[in-house]
């Protein structure tokens, strides 16, 4: 058990150029949104569609960090409901935990994302299914002389 703890601890910290140990997750971020939306086919049915207004609030808590000057990582938990005003059978909810890691090579970057999601029928009533998503991405960052930064989507 002692070896595991030492190995895990050493991976969570790293030495900076000045020789001091730094915690890998150095910042927290909280994101929230409250979008009001209109759907023309709230039942997602090929016939007899019903339009409705719905609200999809979400909350995301992230731990952000870096392993070295060119490698960033984050872990997060997020979730929220989709609550309809009239077509209540379409209500649902979701909860996701995940993480990503990105390595920069100059202006280029590559990375990977993993997410584990729980999808509910109703607003967090009955678990419908679970999903494990893995993805990879590559990007390029361009900064003009006027300080405008353009990043390729990841």
- Residue 82: the pLDDT is 85
| 92-120 confidence digits (pLDDT tens) | 899 999 999 999 998 899 999 999 999 99
pLDDT higher at 22 or 125: 125
Per DSSP, the residues of the chain read: -HHHHHHHHHHHEEE-TTS-EEESEEEEEEEEE--EEEES-TT--SSS---EEEE--EEEEEEEEEEETTEEEEEEEEEEEEEESS-GGG-EEEEEEEEEEEEEETTEEEEEEEEEEEEEETTTTEEEEEEEEEEEEEEEEEE-TTS-EEE---
Please give the Cα distance from 73 to 66 (Å, whole number): 6
Segment 9-34 shows an average pLDDT of: 66
Name the residue among 120, 118, 107 with its Cα closest to residue 152. Answer: 107
Please name the residues in contact with 128: beta carbons below 8 A apart, sequence gap of 6 or more: 92, 119, 120, 121
| 4-17 confidence digits (pLDDT tens) | 333 333 344 555 55
pTM for this predicted structure: 0.69
Please report, for the chain, the start and end positions of each structural domain, with discontinuous segments joined by +. Answer: 25-151
Contacts 24+ apart (CB under 8 A), 57-60: 57/32, 57/33, 57/81, 58/31, 58/32, 58/33, 59/30, 59/31, 59/32, 60/29, 60/30, 60/31, 60/32
């Amino acid at each position: 058990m002692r070896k595991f703890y030492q190995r895990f601890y050493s991976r969570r910290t790293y030495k900076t150029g000045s020789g001091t140990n730094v915690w890998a997750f150095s910042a927290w971020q909280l994101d929230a949104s409250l979008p009001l939306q209109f759907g023309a086919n709230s039942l997602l049915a090929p016939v007899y569609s019903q339009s409705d207004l719905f609200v999809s609030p979400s909350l995301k808590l992230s731990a952000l960090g870096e392993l070295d000057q060119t490698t960033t990582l984050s872990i997060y938990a997020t979730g929220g409901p989709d609550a309809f005003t009239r077509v209540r059978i379409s209500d649902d909810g979701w909860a996701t935990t995940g993480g990503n890691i990105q390595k920069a090579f100059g202006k280029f970057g590559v990375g990977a994302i993993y997410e584990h999601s729980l999808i509910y029928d109703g607003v967090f009533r009955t678990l419908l299914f679970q999903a494990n998503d893995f993805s990879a991405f590559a990007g390029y960052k361009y900064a003009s002389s006027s300080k405008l930064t353009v990043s390729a989507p990841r």
